[in-house]
Each structure stands twice: as structure tokens, then as C-alpha cells.
Amino acid sequence: MLSVRIDKWLWAARFYKTRSLAVDDISKGRVQVNGAVVKPSREVRAGDSVRLRQGHTERTVQVLGVSESRGPAPVAQQLYAETPESIKAREAAAEQRRVAAEPAHSMEHGRPTKRDRRAQNVWNNAWNERWSASLD
């Protein structure tokens, strides 16, 4: 076997749990082969470069072998090799997310309700009346 469909290869290499998830991401343009956005039916061969994005993770891998069947994880890892640049970029992105977290993720309860806003306004008004800097 010299080539296999990209959706089957991504499934066999265990990047996606099902082929339909692989097809969805390929159709959304999140997978590139040799720098070109592809369709799920694109054939991939040993030596091709595959770039894929899954959530926050972006990887660039070199295809070492092809397989149409999904096997155990150690066998699947032998189908590809991640490039050193991809590993460095992925680790730097993970460190950046760890150090500077998204501000929206720190919100515990989301948007305040009308009751919460009224309670906050009561607190703010009481504070301003008590500690006024006016001259009277």
C-alpha cells in the first residue's frame, strides 16, 4: 500500500477518535498536506508533511508510513514523526496559556444578574455616601 486517504490516515494514526471527526476538521480547513488545504479524499504518502490544528494545539508531522486500519497506540505513533519546530511551538503555546490565562476563564459565574447589579449598586452608593470627599 503506497497511499491512503487523509481521513483514514488521521484516524489510523489516532489524531481523531472517529473518521467522521477527521472529515469534519478536514472540511473546515484545519488540516493541510504539503501546505495545501485538502479534501478528505486526498491521498497521503510516506514523506508528506501534514499540518493539523485540534483546539489550541497545532502540529506539523512528517508521514513515515500509511495504514488503513486503526491499531494500538504504539503502532500508530510509528506512522508519523512530529517536527522539532512543531514540538517547540506547541510547548511555547502551552507555556503561554499556563502563564497568561485567558481573562474570561477566571469568571466564576458569568454575567451578573439584575439582582446582583442592584446589590452592587447599593454597596457602591453606601460607600460613596459614607466616604464622600465633598466639602459639606
Quick one: pLDDT at residue 97? Answer: 84
Quick one: pLDDT at residue 40? Answer: 92
Low-confidence ranges of the chain (pLDDT < 70): 1, 104-107, 123-136
Quick one: pLDDT at residue 82? Answer: 94
C-alpha pair distances (Å), 47 with each of 22, 62, 63: 20, 6, 5
Q: Is the dihedral of CA 63, 45, 32, 23 positive or negative?
A: negative
Quick one: pLDDT at residue 8? Answer: 94
Identity of the amino acid at 121: N
Quick one: pLDDT at residue 130? Answer: 58
Quick one: pLDDT at residue 24? Answer: 95
Contact 47/63 with Cβ under 8 angstroms? yes
Quick one: pLDDT at residue 60? Answer: 95
Quick one: pLDDT at residue 56? Answer: 83
Quick one: pLDDT at residue 46? Answer: 93
Helix, strand and coil content of the chain, in percent to the nearest 5, comes to: 45, 20, 35
DSSP 8-state code for residue 22: H
Quick one: pLDDT at residue 117? Answer: 82
Question: What domains does the chain contain, in order, with CATH numbers?
Answer: 3-99 (3.10.290.10)
